[in-house]
Chains A and B, each alone.
Chain A
Amino acid sequence: MANSKSVILKIKRQQTPESKPYWEEFELSYRPGMNVTSALMDIAAKPVTRQGKPTTPVTYDSNCLEEICGSCAMLINGQAKMACSALIANLKQPITLEPFTKFPIIRDLAVDRSVLFENLKRVKAWVPVDGTYDLGCGPRQSSEMQEEAYPLSNCISCTCCMEACPQFNDKTGFVGAATIAQVRLFNSHPTGSALKKERLKALMGDGGIQECGYAQNCVEICPKELPLTKSIAAVGGQVMWQAIKDLFRT
């Protein structure tokens, strides 16, 4: 497709959260290095469908355009992806763009993914420091510890793992892989581990870690290649130990 002169995009659109979705097709001229976000910018500059009908620029989330802010996640040819790093040359045409299906729609390709931030609150994904005044340096850590933590800290909150997960839906209320990976990150931090028990308790019961069905879609889809299934297994073990400990304590 890299050599073809034009790019055909089929975009699923929806004016408001309540209105009916519909499809529009666009034809753009191809330029080397073109990605999905630059195609959407081209449409904004000339909002006319392939059929010549004037329309509106497409609403979508974006910010950094270098796959680090996590904004521009959408379904591209049916797959959860970041639009900025989706190069047109690598995509089969016509290219379909759809909003994520597991989150409330705002408009067109923009959805409300704040549930992830709420989940991070629920599991207390932070290091409980005494304060930000000067208390000297942090705990000494080996390179190995840093190399374990760093990949987990690379999560960009794009929610691709949640969109791709068959268990992440209204019925289960599953928190999803991204949140569980953060639990693993903070539980492994020398100071962060102070809240380990509370985090594990938040992952017990309905919507907790037990909902994972081991489909492994999350780890395959993650644009930052986080060790998600490994994290679910590790935290699953921690939750089990905590449950056993709780059992003997009562």
Chain B
Amino acid sequence: MSQPKIIVVGGGLAGLSATIKIAEMGGHVDLFSIVPVKRSHSVCAQGGINAAKNLKGEGDSTWQHFDDTIYGGDFLANQPPVKAMCEAAPGVIDLLDRLGVPFNRTPEGLLDFRRFGGTLYNRTAFAGATTGQQLLYALDEQVRRYEAEGKVTKYEAWEFLSAVIDDQRVCHGICAMDLRSMAVQTFPAEAVIIATGGVGAIFGKSTNSVVCTGSAQSALYQQGAYYANGECIQVHPTCIPGEDKLRLMSESARGEGGRVWVPKQPGDKRDPKSIPEGERWYFLEEWYPKYGNLVPRDIATRAIHKVVYELHLGLDGQPMVYLDLTHIDRATLDRKLEGILEIYEKFVGDDPRDTPMKIFPGVHYTMGGLWVDFEQRTNIEGLYAAGECEYQYHGANRLGANSLLSCIYAGFVSGPNAVNYSRNGMKSAPAQQVYDSERKRQEEINAHLIKNDGAENPFLLWRELGDTMTKNVTVIRYNKNIRETDTKLVELLERYRHVNLSDRSMWANTSFAFARQLYNMLQLARVIAQGAAMRDESRGAHYKPDFPERDDANWLKTTKAYFAADADEPRFEFEPVDTSLLKPRPRRYDVAS
């Protein structure tokens, strides 16, 4: 059989799992990544990966996992692919176990499972509190094995700039930039899989890694790919505010019994340990007695916002609340949560085993993303997407520990589909001129940028972008403010034309690469903001006080943005959600459902 030649862009869990499947099926992969793939953002995932293995005698099932995921996502996800993912999950865990992931064990030597938000079952397999790191390494090792066998060629320190698309709207490869020589080059392929992660950098500081700019998705959107449910952005309730980023404090802290509280008395200056039980307010436990501290993230985030901004009970007047683990014994904490407790210790300086942590919500996950069909195909033939960069599995809110699963699963779907496309349906390669003209287009953008003579600093423009997006397009959304943000985005795009790089060299020029990402961030920010302005309802992470209820009659539909090149702005279409398996019902975590 022929050896299909596939390009995978992105070396996180989705990209690596797609790569492994392709190599296993006899294909060859050119794997592109900005950073060495072992340093991809998937390493940051902490708490675990969901699968209804039902090893705790609770009667858990893949159907229940499916139901929790759809309900947690407030019925915005198309149901068949989510069901397929939940059914595949136990097999994914088995595979990871075979690959050597050091999952925590029960005394009998079986995999241990813990609880996570939005479910009543112990469904989350975990490797300490560094599960993402352990999973990524296991896949990275298998890819290295295929690399040694010549089935994978890595292009690390290369950045995706665009897809090579012919006049029949078929994708035949990519155009990428070497981040050392800054040279632009095209690479042919029979199919391309995009696995480039989330868009956290659009919000300035987030829990995401530096490379999570959404630049690749935005470039593709500007080339004609649909971008779906852009307005669905998850703000994680428990992060450690920092100078350079917001560091995640995993939901597993609550899964292992962590409790969120504030002193009942505003501005209470006492040491938290000396505040008696009766003078603490465990507001999540009071408001949501059934799920308590393990309500889904959107619910917990809004509760913390309310406590801080409406009830003015933030710690010492600051936007922070306590996340308390001090009632749990040290040995248990070390065995199950050490990785995340170390992060707090290292970056804050306090030991969370001794003193409650101070936390606040931060932008965390991109539920929206490139539109794909159930086969992970975008609307551009030959172009696939998998992982956080696409929109398929989480609806309007992602449940904790479902992201690692969706990334691996989508990689496992997209890889074989790309191979089959290459073997059966692929259109013949286009003329060289198609590649040359795309390369020229990118080189012209670069030539213009490098000599541009303005007064705008790209890093400062980015700060303004992050500030306006975080302020107006995250937890609480008002149409007036969102519209102001979109106006601001237009202004920033205009000012971007006057961007001035203080570094004009053509060697490992990081501000140059950043300036290119920034343009794409600005374009995609408009998709997020305008999508949020349009959706006049509240659903999952998308919350508008002026439209506080979910409105299935008008808004049970997927937002699909496409780029209108002449107008240089997004246009929108809507698509019905496939609810063929579960009838939408009200989403209430304060009462039994």
A, B from the same assembly: yes
Task: List residues of A whose CB falls within 8 A of some B CB.
Answer: 15-16, 31, 33-35, 37-38, 41, 44-47, 54-57, 59-71, 84-85, 87, 106-108, 110, 114, 117, 120-121, 124-129, 131-132, 134-143, 145-147, 149-150, 153-154, 156-157, 186, 189, 191-192
User: Are A69 and B39 touching (Cβ within 8 A)?
Assistant: yes
User: Are A64 and B244 touching (Cβ within 8 A)?
Assistant: no
Inter-chain CA distance A16–B509, complex, in Å, is 11
User: Are B210 and A142 touching (Cβ within 8 A)?
Assistant: no
User: Are B507 and A70 touching (Cβ within 8 A)?
Assistant: no
With a CB–CB cut-off of 8 A, which chain B residues contact A142? 105, 109
With a CB–CB cut-off of 8 A, which chain A residues contact B99? 127, 129, 138
Inter-chain CA distance A134–B89, complex, in Å, is 11
With a CB–CB cut-off of 8 A, which chain A residues contact B141? 120, 125-127
Contact of A33 among B21, B98, B242, B459 (CB under 8 A): B242
Q: Which 7 A-B pairs have the closest CB atoms?
A: A138-B97, A56-B503, A126-B141, A38-B244, A107-B508, A38-B243, A138-B98
Given A41-B244, A127-B100, A137-B94: A57 in contact with B24 (beta carbons within 8 A): no
User: Are B98 and A56 touching (Cβ within 8 A)?
Assistant: no
In B16-50, the 8 Å CB interface with A consists of 20-21, 24, 35-36, 38-41, 43-44
Residue pairs across A and B with Cβ atoms less than 8 A apart, 23 shown, are A15-B507, A16-B507, A31-B243, A37-B244, A44-B510, A55-B502, A63-B35, A65-B210, A67-B343, A67-B346, A85-B346, A106-B180, A108-B508, A120-B141, A129-B142, A137-B94, A139-B98, A140-B109, A141-B105, A143-B106, A153-B137, A157-B38, A186-B100
Contact of A153 among B91, B134, B248 (CB under 8 A): B134
In B340-360, the 8 Å CB interface with A consists of 343, 346-349
With a CB–CB cut-off of 8 A, which chain B residues contact A135? 94-95, 98
B495 at the interface (CB under 8 A from A): no
Instruction: Return the chain B residue nearest A186 by Cβ.
Output: B100
Given A126-B141, A128-B145: A66 in contact with B245 (beta carbons within 8 A): yes
Query: Per DSSP, are chain A's interface residues mostly helix, strand or loop, or mixed?
Result: loop
B487 at the interface (CB under 8 A from A): no
Inter-chain CA distance A200–B295, complex, in Å, is 50
Inter-chain CA distance A33–B348, complex, in Å, is 7
Chain B 229-272 per-residue mask, 1 if CB under 8 angstroms from chain A, else 0 = 00000000000001111011000000000000000000000000
Instruction: Return the chain B residue nearest A61 by Cβ.
Output: B35
Given A84-B244, A153-B102: A132 in contact with B95 (beta carbons within 8 A): yes
B104 at the interface (CB under 8 A from A): yes
Inter-chain CA distance A35–B243, complex, in Å, is 8
Inter-chain CA distance A33–B505, complex, in Å, is 33
CB distance from B560 to the nearest CB of A (A): 31
User: Are A137 and B98 touching (Cβ within 8 A)?
Assistant: yes
